[in-house]
Amino acid sequence: MPVRLRAEAMRGRQSLIMKYFAAVALVWLGCALAWVVLGATLVHRSGETSGELTTEVDKLWGPPLSQSPPTATYEQPERVRQKTTTLTAQGRSEEQWVERDVVKTLTLPLASSDLRAQLRLQHRQKGLLWFATYGVDFSGKYEFVNDTKTEQLVQTGFPLEAGGSVFDGFGIEDEHGAPRPYRVVENVALFSESLAPGKKLAFRVHYRARGRSSFRYAVTEGTGRVEHFVLKMSTDFADVNFPSGTLSPSRHAASANAWSGEWRFDSLVANAGIGVELPQKLNPGPLASRITFFAPVGLLFFMFVAAVLGAARGTKLHPMHYLFIGCAFFAFHLLFAYTVDHLPLELAFALASVVSVLLVVSYGRLFLGLTRATLLLGVPQLLYLVLFSATFFWQGYTGLAVAVGAVLTLFVMMQMTGRARWDAAAQPQ
């Protein structure tokens, strides 16, 4: 063959190769755009309803509970001197000191706190979101001491969480277990009692309530001193997390499905409280959106493996094959996105996986045969669609799993194609 004809043939082959890969790249870009639209729809669905659903759950079950310690106050009259400024008849300002009687509200120190809290977890699903709701049995024994030199009329107030919380079985008892009468004013349960100098005021509070996501106890209001404090907490779940800015327990123990902890302080100066966060289930909406946004990476791996293996074995896929396979990949995410709020998360994932793999293998058998379609298309799809998507259930390790998968893919491809004759395989069919 003349040199000129050979050069023209080479340029023709290169042109065909470039057009082939451009068509495949266009298919990938189209699928990626479709996934972006679907992922944005999921984000919108989850975000649009998140605030509404949270408000609805708070009204039905209760908001996150945060219990504050009680206060004991008394009023003390004092005569104080104050400087006042007046205008004279000549229009000049004149300062003078006057004495006035004022009433100051002072607090008694909280001598001891002995508290118990038992949490019972119950997850509830609303739309595309799971909420960690719970019931709590709370009781606390408190002691205040009159550290003044005179008898005081002490008004004790126990704060009640505002914002829709319901307190069942609420009661206040004296140190002998007799009920104390009280009134509720502006979310505070109040009762009064005269207290002699040096005497202690002891009482017990108990209630049952419901909340969401977390339970906290404010050891002090702001920075303060805590004396003889004990809080024993137990849960019917073992996966307990402590929010940032809270005190860790003095001791704790966990079993397969329970946890118990104790906070004990003889004398503590702190501005941090005590809190636990309840374990949160994977939210279907955010999970489905993350899997969807990651889908183009999985399809890119699949196309790379299918193209390399096909070229090495003389079985190249046409761009139209990639288009229909990409649509089958997209079917996985579409089906998962719209069944995840109707079926259990794992069942929706399994259903979408089976349907998508069947679409690809049943399509590939028509031009490759069942065995080759399973090996060339089905196995890579299981790896780069199903398994890559499943890593999102393994929180915190998705990136590591993908990195390991990428390196292993490169290794396997290099070993399987090391003896391939690429010159002979370069011509598209």
Task: Provide the strand spans (E) within 88-151.
Answer: 93-107, 110-126, 129-145
Q: Is the Cβ–Cβ distance between 17 and 9 less than 8 Å?
A: no
CA distances from 149 to 52, 78, 101, 112, 311 (A): 55, 15, 21, 21, 96
pLDDT in tens, 129-159: 888 999 999 999 999 999 888 888 999 999 9
Question: Which residues partner with 295 through β-bridges?
Answer: none
Q: Is the Cβ–Cβ distance between 351 and 332 less than 8 Å?
A: no
Cα–Cα distance between 292 and 290 in angstroms, integer? 5
Domain map of the chain by residue range?
3-56+282-425, 63-220
Quote the tokens at residue 105: 């509200």
Give residue 316's pLDDT. 77
pTM of the predicted model as reported, rounded to 2 decimal places: 0.73
User: Exposed/middle/buried for 256, CB within 10 Å: 0-12, 13-18, 19+?
Assistant: exposed
pLDDT in tens, 178-226: 999 999 998 899 999 998 998 999 999 999 999 999 999 998 877 778 8
Unique residue bearing structure tokens 């690809």? 360
Q: Is the Cβ–Cβ distance between 277 and 242 less than 8 Å?
A: yes
Number of H helices, E strands in the chain: 9, 15
Q: Name the DSSP class of 393.
A: G
Give residue 429's pLDDT. 47
Per-residue pLDDT of the chain (429 residues; tens, 9 = 90+): 565 555 555 555 556 667 777 888 899 999 999 999 999 888 877 765 566 778 888 888 888 999 999 999 988 887 777 777 776 666 677 777 777 777 788 889 899 999 999 999 998 888 778 889 999 999 999 999 998 888 889 999 999 987 668 889 999 999 888 999 999 998 899 999 998 998 999 999 999 999 999 999 998 877 778 889 999 999 999 888 998 888 889 999 888 889 999 999 988 887 888 999 999 888 888 889 999 999 999 999 998 888 877 766 667 788 899 999 999 999 999 999 989 888 888 999 999 999 999 999 999 999 888 998 898 899 999 999 999 999 898 877 888 888 888 898 888 888 877 776 666 555 544
The 3-class SS string of 249-270 reads CCEEEECCCCEEEEEEEEEEEE
Give residue 88's pLDDT. 66
Give residue 11's pLDDT. 58
Cα–Cα distance between 101 and 199 in angstroms, integer? 28
Give residue 280's pLDDT. 87
